[in-house]
Amino acid sequence: MTVETIPPGPAGLAEVGGDQRPARAQRRRTSSRAVLSQVLLTAVLVLFLMPFVWMIASALKPPAEVFGGGAGLIGSEVRWSNFAEVWRYLPFGRFMLNGLFVAVSGTVVVCVTSVLSAYAFARLRFRGRDRLFLVYLGTLMVPQEVTVVPMFILMQQFGWVDSYAALILPWAFTAFGTFLLRQFFLSIPSELEEAATIDGAGRLRILLQVVLPIAKPAVAVLAAFTFINYWNSFLWPLIVVNGRETATVPLGLNLFLSQNGNQWHLLMAASAISMLPTVVMVVLLQRHLVRGIALSGLGGR
Amino acid sequence: MTVSLPAPPAEVRRAEAGRGVRRGDGRAALGFLAPSTTGFLLFTLIPLVGSLAISFFAWPVLGRKRFIGLGNFVELLGNPIFHQIMLNTLVFVVIYVPLNIIVSLGLALWISPRIRGRGLYRLLFFIPTVTPMIANALVWRLLYQPGGVIDQTVQTLFGVPAPNFLGDTRWAMAAVILMSVWQGFGYNMLVFSAGLDAIPQSIQEAAAIDGAGPLRRFWSITLPMLSPSMFFAMIMTLITSFQVFVQPYVLTRGGPGVTTETMVLNLYRQGFEQFDLGTASTIGWFLFMIIMLVTALQFLGQKRWVHYDG
């Protein structure tokens, strides 16, 4: 392991002696320590990823080989057909489409309403602004579970049980997006907007053409995390959706568990499918997300 | 910018009048705020008030609602099973939060600039925080099963079967916590990484020249400078960990017995399996009050250890 880090040629001779010896030895010690650290970290990472590895391995096994002694990582055959079989048991394609529709619509609603209200709170002057914003702030800490019961009753009143609207709208108006974007808008120098005002642009135009281009990274982060939250949401869909027509992916997994709870090869295939969209998104947006978490405080979930 | 079109005279006059003279943007604000505030009122404020109101009623999903004052609260407070459930939630929080902070801080420190490809390590440790919780929990249920990979490994190494992690009262909560830490530490790791990267290298070097060892530098420089991130991470993690639901729902169904039943799992069961909405709402308010109390305590305690001077 450490051999790789010793530079070829003169450095290798440093051991034998010469006046450079202490410095060389020191450097070699630190570099071999760095290698050791990297190797250990990689080992930790591999261990950490084992659940995912095992998920995919089990998803590709024949059913009889998921449990029991001697079952290795790869079964007697690699059965890609398990993934197709998932579709036959339950309309997983439908769940995926439902999930995408709900998550995308929810994200659009959250972003549009948050951008508008955040701009009003950050830049417009009107009576009661600070008091209204304080009310928004006050609800930031309210856990979803507190309002789940009245929300369910509200859905019954609206006749929205089992509908897309019930999956999209109830959680699209929390204070979080408004709060996050307001903070970001406040950090944009207002001189830019004043110049546009003098040029005669209206408020909406200033927001769309001056402020939004600058705030794009913050909106992107809000959009990404909103999408992920909608896609993964489980408690609320479990409460408000009973049928398969509007079920999202986590509900599909739950249905699968209650109907075919012992078909672990299929459950793992279904789980792997459910993870795909958010993983792809995080890989594509990684740089923005890391910065976004740092600047926005979306952490700690 | 693109907006420098010739303006109509009226607009020019308004602009000339200047910002200070204009009396406000009342009408514009109404337009900007209408969509958000309407939804906020309907879907956040009204349900919040409603949930408190419902908790004062015996409120079955079907049938007559009856006002019973603090009846739900009194009944829950006198119920030994609910005590156990609150205790379970507290045990989960008290073990999970420190573990989460230690693991995420440890890895954030470990993935230092000296590690090659640190972005990739960070990304991979972050993945389970964005994959559906129910899928993560299902995978771990497979791992924990008797005959599953953990059991097999233990049998190969020690020749005895592993405990039935999810079915054994002594192991079930530990299994839920371990899975939760695996799933959740990625967020705080990124928060801490960002915090660590923001500490100027020059301070560390100056301290090193003054003869401070690595441990001393960690205690006297890194930790104080990271304390705002720590405070933030702690608050958020505490709040969300009181809300734990999916992990026990999928892994143990709250069992064996009620050993892993948490407050939100109980809320769901009372409300949507027993159809007792009054009790469910009351549990929600208990949860809310506990969260507010703990957060308030955190804010009171922060003066002692959080340093905001940059």
Q: What value does the mean pLDDT take over residues A171-195?
A: 85
- Weakest-pLDDT range from A229-238, B15-24, B208-217: B15-24
C-alpha to C-alpha distances, A247 to A252, A270, A272, B40, nearest whole angstrom = 6, 14, 18, 25
Residue B117 Rama label (left phi>0; alpha psi -120 to 50; beta): left
Q: What is the pLDDT of residues B84-138, one digit of tens each?
A: 999 999 999 999 999 999 999 999 999 988 888 888 999 999 999 999 999 999 9
Q: CB–CB of A274 and B250 under 8 A?
A: no
* pLDDT, tens digit (0-9, with 9 covering 90-100), for B58-87: 888 888 889 998 989 999 999 999 999 999
Average pLDDT over residues B246-270: 94
Res. B26: pLDDT tops 90: no
Residue A158 forms contact with B (CB below 8 Å): no
Count of Cβ atoms closer than 10 Å to residue B193 Cβ: 27
Helix or strand or coil: residue B58? strand
Contact B291 A141 (CB under 8 A): yes
Kindly determine whether residue A66 and residue B3, on different chains, have CB atoms separated by under 8 Å: no
Is pLDDT above 80 for B164? yes
Q: Is the pLDDT of residue A260 over 80?
A: no
B303: pLDDT strictly greater than 60: yes
Q: How far apart are the CA of B292 and the nearest CA of chain A, in angstroms?
A: 8
Mutation target to probe the B interface, by most B beta carbons within 10 A, among A149, A274, A293 is A149
pLDDT at residue B212 in the model: 83
CB-CB contact of A271 with B142 (8 Å): no
pLDDT tens for A96-152 read 999 999 999 999 999 999 999 999 998 888 888 889 999 888 888 888 889 999 999
pLDDT category, A1, cuts 50, 70, 90? very low
As a whole number of angstroms, the longest Cα–Cα distance in chain A is: 87
Nearest CA in chain A to B46: A150
pLDDT, residue A23, reads 57
Q: How far is A14 from chain B (nearest CA, A)?
A: 24
Angstrom distance (rounded) from CA A216 to CA A221: 9
Given CB atoms, is A166 within the 8 Å cutoff of chain B? no
For residue A20, is pLDDT > 50? no
Residue with tokens 């599909």: A252
Asked if A300 and B127 come within 8 Å (Cβ–Cβ), the reply is: no
Kindly give the residue spans of alpha helices, DSSP state H, lying in B210-273.
214-217, 223-242, 246-251, 263-272
Residue B309 has pLDDT above 80, yes or no: no
Is the model more confident about A103 or about B19?
A103
* Reported confidence tier of residue A3, pLDDT bands at 50, 70, 90: very low
Using pLDDT thresholds of 50, 70 and 90, give the confidence band for residue A22.
low
What pLDDT, on a 0 to 100 scale, did the predictor assign at position B2?
Answer: 38
pLDDT at residue A297 is higher than 70: no
Q: Is residue B180 a contact partner of residue B194, using CB atoms and an 8 Å limit?
A: no
pLDDT for B304: 83
Return the bridge partners of B66, or none.
B58
Q: What is the mean predicted confidence (pLDDT) over A285-297?
A: 70
- According to DSSP, residue A2 is labeled G
| Between B21 and B107, the higher pLDDT residue | B107
pLDDT-derived band at A71, boundaries 50, 70, 90 = low
Residue of A nearest to B156 (CA): A69
The mean pLDDT of A157-173, rounded to a whole number, is 92
Task: Please provide the average confidence, as pLDDT, over all residues in chain B.
Answer: 87
